[in-house]
Structure 1
Amino acid sequence: MALAMNRDELSQYLKEVFPQVHKDFVVEDLTEDSITMRLVVQDQHLRPGGTVSGPSMFGLADVSVYAMVLARKGRQSLAVTTNSSFDFLRKPEGGADMIAACRLLKLGKTLAVGDVLLYSEGSDLPVARATMTYSLPPAGSAAANFG
C-alpha cells in the first residue's frame, strides 16, 4: 500500500494536531512499511536515576504507530489505541535521545497493529519493545473525517 502522506506532510500534520508535543517527537524516516521516530529527550522525560521514564517511552511507541497509520491512511483517520503490550528490556541512557523503529503488522479496515523497538541513540541494543493495537473509525463516520 502506498503512503497517503510523505515524511514532510506527516510532520506538518502532527504539528497541527498536537502543537503541545510536536517538538518532542521527530519523524526521522518514513517508508511504505516502516517509520523511524525520535524522542528528543529533555528533563521532563527523565525520572530519578537519570533514565528515560516509562511514560515517555510509551508515548514514543504510541505516537510512532499512530503516525505510521496516518501516513498510510491519511488525515481522515482518527485512530485510537485499544490495546498495548510493553516490555522493558534494559535501562535507557538518560543523556541520549530515544529512537523508535516501527512497522505495521496489520492495517485493516477497523484495526491496525504495530510493533516498535525502542533504542537509546547510538546503541544497537533495544531498551524496550511494544505492540500497539488501534481501532480505526468506519469510513464516512464523523471521527474518520478528523483533520
Structure 2
Amino acid sequence: MQIIMDAEALNAFLARDFPQVAGSYRVEQVEAQRLTARLSVDDAHLRPGGTVSGPSMFALADLAIYCAILARLGPVALAVTTNASIDFMRKPEAGRALIAECRLLKLGRVLAVGEALIFSEGSELPVARSSMTYSIPPKA
C-alpha cells in the first residue's frame, strides 16, 4: 500500500484539526503495513489507583487506526468510527507512555477495518487489544 501521509504530515493534521489530542497523542512511525502511535501519559489520563484510564487507551487505539487510514487515503477528516471493540488485558505500567501498534486489515472504498495492540513502553506484553471499523465518506 502506498503511504500518502507520513508521521510528520499526520501530526500536523492532528495539531490543526484535533488540537484537543495533539498534545498527548502522537504518531511515531508509519510503514506500509503498520503505524505506531504514542500516548504521553500524565495525570489527566489516570484513574484512581494510578493506572491509565480505559477511555485514554481507547482514544489511543482510535487515533492510531484513524491515522493508519489517513496515511493511505490522505486527510479525510470525516472518516468516522462505526464499530469499536477493546479488550483490557492487564494493568498498564505506572509512569510509562503507552504505545499502540496498529495495522489495517481492510481498506475498501466504503469501510476500513483495523486493529491495535497497546503496550506500556518497554514491555513486551500488550495491555489492551482493539478492533475498529470506520466509514469512509464518498469522494467529492
TM range (shorter): over 0.9
SS of the counterpart of 1:21? helix
Task: Tell me what 2:59 maps to.
Answer: 59
Aligned residue identity for 1:73: L
> Which 5+ residue runs of structure 1 have no aligned equivalent?
141-147
1:15-54 to 2 correspondences below 5 Å: 15-54=15-54
Whole-angstrom CA distance in 1 between matches of 2:89 and 2:102: 17
Identity across matched positions, percent:
57
How far does residue 77 in structure 1 lie from its aligned partner after superposition? 5.1
TM-score (ref. length: structure 1):
0.92
1:41 touches 1:94 (CA, 8 Å); kept in 2?
no
Q: Distance in 2 between matches of 1:14 and 1:32?
A: 20
Report Cα offsets for 1:69-124 as digits up to 9, x if no partner.
11110013521000011111111113110000000000000000001000001100
Q: Contact 1:10–1:71 at 8 Å: present in 2 too? A: yes
Q: Which amino acid aligns with 1:35?
A: L
Offset, 1:57: 0.2
- Which aligned runs of 4 or more in structure 1 are off by greater than 4 angstroms? none
Letter in 1 for 2:114: G
Contact 1:89/1:127 (<8 A) preserved: yes
Alignment of 1:1-147 (within 5 A): 1-76=1-76, 78-140=78-140
Moved more, 2-11 or 99-108: 2-11
Amino acid at match of 2:137: P
Once superposed, what is the RMSD of the aligned Cα atoms?
Answer: 0.9
TM-score by length of 2: 0.97
SS in structure 1 of the partner of residue 59 of structure 2? helix
Give the aligned residue type for 2:47: R
Give the aligned residue type for 1:88: F
* Distance in 1 between residues matched to 2:34 and 2:11, nearest whole Å: 15
Work out the CA distance in 2 between the residues paired with 1:128 and 1:9.
27
Question: Which structure 2 residue ranges, 5 or more long, are not aligned?
Answer: none
Question: 1:41, 1:97 within 8 Å by CA — same for their partners in 2?
Answer: yes
Q: What is the one-letter code of the residue matched to 2:15?
A: K
Cα offset for 1:7? 1.6
Work out the number of aligned pairs and report it. 140
Q: Is the CA contact 1:77–1:137 (under 8 Å) kept in the aligned structure 2?
A: no
